Structures are given as structure tokens and as C-alpha cells.
């Protein structure tokens, strides 16, 4: 932002010159372009699973966006990154038995939306990563004061590692604590806690073998 107002001809005073406005505009345009591109890629990936998955994504998108807005308000995107990483890494690790390394990469570095068809069949499989996101979100915001330097990256999670990269782009990132926080919140805690939360649900029969299977 400009430090002081700029005086122009005719004694008109403005806060920003046209050049400064253009400089502010480009990052916003790029952010919107990235959001649209990611949304399109997400839809194309889910479309390969089937009609049920596409319908499921449409149904839950509004809920997902609401959670991102809530987490973003908590910590300038830091908690939002934590929540999205918990979904992607959580589903990738939790479904490793069914989907092996292909599923690990597709969900961990791609999108957990691939599981929407299975969530429609058994909504309980969504509980473990969601519970973990409720744990890692406050840890990100309250313990590590995690922030995101790129607004649109807040809702990306580990998709293409955009979420962690956004965290690394935030002001003040670089200390040992910030690195530990990013690794713990984005990768380690979701990978460890999600199977632990899912374990009793498997024992109770809430989650059965094959419930997380993807046709990759």
C-alpha cells in the first residue's frame, strides 16, 4: 500500500496511482486464474470416476467452501491449509490398503475429491480426516501461528504441494519452528492420526474393506 496520498493535477488527491493499481491487480487476476484452473482440473479428475462422484462433489462443494472460509478467518489461511491437508493426506494414507501407491499419489498430491463417490455410499469414511482436521487446524493457528502467503493456496492443501508452498511464502517463515509446524500440520499429523482415528471405526464395522477403493 502507498505510504501517503499522491497529489495529482487539479488538486485531486488519490491513495494509489494507476501504476500502483495495476501492480495490485495482477496478483488478484493470477489468483483467480489459478482457482479456475484448479477447479477445472478437479472436475476432470472426478469425472473419470463416474456420475455419482460428480454429483457428490456438487453437493459438498458449498460445505467445503464454508469450512475453508471459517479456517481462513481463524488464521489467514493457515488453519485452512491444515484442514485441506488433513483431508488429502488422511484419505491417501487411510485408503493405502485398497489403492496402494497410485491412490497415495492421486489423493495426496491430487485431490481427496476422488473419494466423493465412496462418501456418498458410506458417509462415515469422511469422519476420520474431518476429525483430524479439527485437531490440526487449531494447532496450526494457535501453536505455530501458521499463515499463508498466497490466498488461493489456503484451500489447495497438498494438491501439487500448493498449500505448503503458500505457507512457505508467508512473511516470517524460515525459522526452525515454522518448518517443524508446516511439516507436522501438513504431512505428519494427518498421516499418523487419520489411521488411528479410523481404527476403532473399522473395528465397529463403520468402515469396511473396499469402502475406500478407487478405480484408478
Does the structure show a pLDDT above 70 at 30? yes
Least confident of 3-7, 35-39, 204-208: 3-7
Residue 215 phi/psi, 5° resolution? -90, 85
Instruction: Judge if pTM exceeds 0.75.
Output: no
Taking residues 130-157, report their average pLDDT: 82
Residue 175 phi/psi, 5° resolution? -75, 165
Taking residues 164-178, report their average pLDDT: 86
Taking residues 58-82, report their average pLDDT: 63
Q: Are the C-beta atoms of residues 197 and 130 closer than 8 Å to each other?
A: no
d(CA 170, CA 148): 5
> Which pLDDT score, from 0 to 100, does residue 188 have?
95
More confident residue, 187 or 51: 187
Write out the three cell numbers for 105. 499419489
- Length reported for the chain: 216
Residue 140 DSSP one-character state? I
d(CA 52, CA 4): 55
pLDDT tens digit sequence for 105-123: 999 988 888 888 888 889 9
Residue 13 DSSP one-character state? E
d(CA 195, CA 207): 11
Give the rounded percent of residues in the chain with a pLDDT score beyond 70: 69
Least confident of 17-31, 54-68, 85-99: 54-68
Region of 210 (left: φ > 0; alpha: ψ -120 to 50; beta: rest) is: left
Which of 192, 185, 196, 149 lies closest to 168 in space, CA to CA? 149
Kindly give the interhelix angle for 78-94 and 51-75, rounded to the nearest 10 degrees: 140
Q: Are the C-beta atoms of residues 103 and 92 closer than 8 Å to each other?
A: yes
Instruction: Give 9's pLDDT tier (boundaries 50, 70, 90).
Output: low
Q: Are the C-beta atoms of residues 126 and 215 closer than 8 Å to each other?
A: no
Amino acid at each position: 500500500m502507498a505510504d501517503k496520498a499522491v497529489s495529482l493535477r487539479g488538486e485531486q488527491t488519490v491513495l494509489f496511482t494507476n501504476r500502483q493499481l495495476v501492480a495490485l491487480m495482477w496478483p488478484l487476476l493470477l489468483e483467480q486464474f489459478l482457482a479456475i484452473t484448479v477447479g477445472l482440473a478437479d472436475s476432470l479428475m472426478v469425472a473419470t470416476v463416474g456420475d455419482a462422484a460428480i454429483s457428490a462433489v456438487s453437493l459438498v462443494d458449498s460445505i467445503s467452501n464454508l469450512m475453508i472460509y471459517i479456517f481462513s478467518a481463524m488464521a489467514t489461511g493457515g488453519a485452512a491449509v491444515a484442514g485441506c491437508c488433513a483431508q488429502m493426506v488422511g484419505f491417501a494414507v487411510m485408503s493405502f490398503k485398497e489403492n496402494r501407491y497410485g491412490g497415495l499419489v492421486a489423493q495426496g498430491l491430487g485431490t481427496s475429491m476422488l473419494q466423493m463417490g465412496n462418501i456418498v455410499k458410506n458417509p462415515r469414511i469422511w469422519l476420520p480426516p474431518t476429525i483430524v482436521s479439527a485437531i490440526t487446524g487449531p494447532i496450526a493457528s494457535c501453536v505455530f501461528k501458521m499463515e499463508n502467503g498466497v490466498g488461493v493456496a489456503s484451500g489447495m492443501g497438498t494438491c501439487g504441494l500448493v498449500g505448503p508452498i503458500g505457507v512457505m511464502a508467508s512473511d516470517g517463515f524460515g525459522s526452525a519452528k515454522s518448518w517443524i509446524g508446516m511439516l507436522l500440520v501438513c504431512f505428519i499429523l494427518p498421516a499418523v492420526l487419520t489411521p488411528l482415528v479410523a481404527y476403532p471405526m473399522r473395528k465397529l464395522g463403520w468402515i469396511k474393506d473396499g469402502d475406500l477403493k478407487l478405480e484408478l
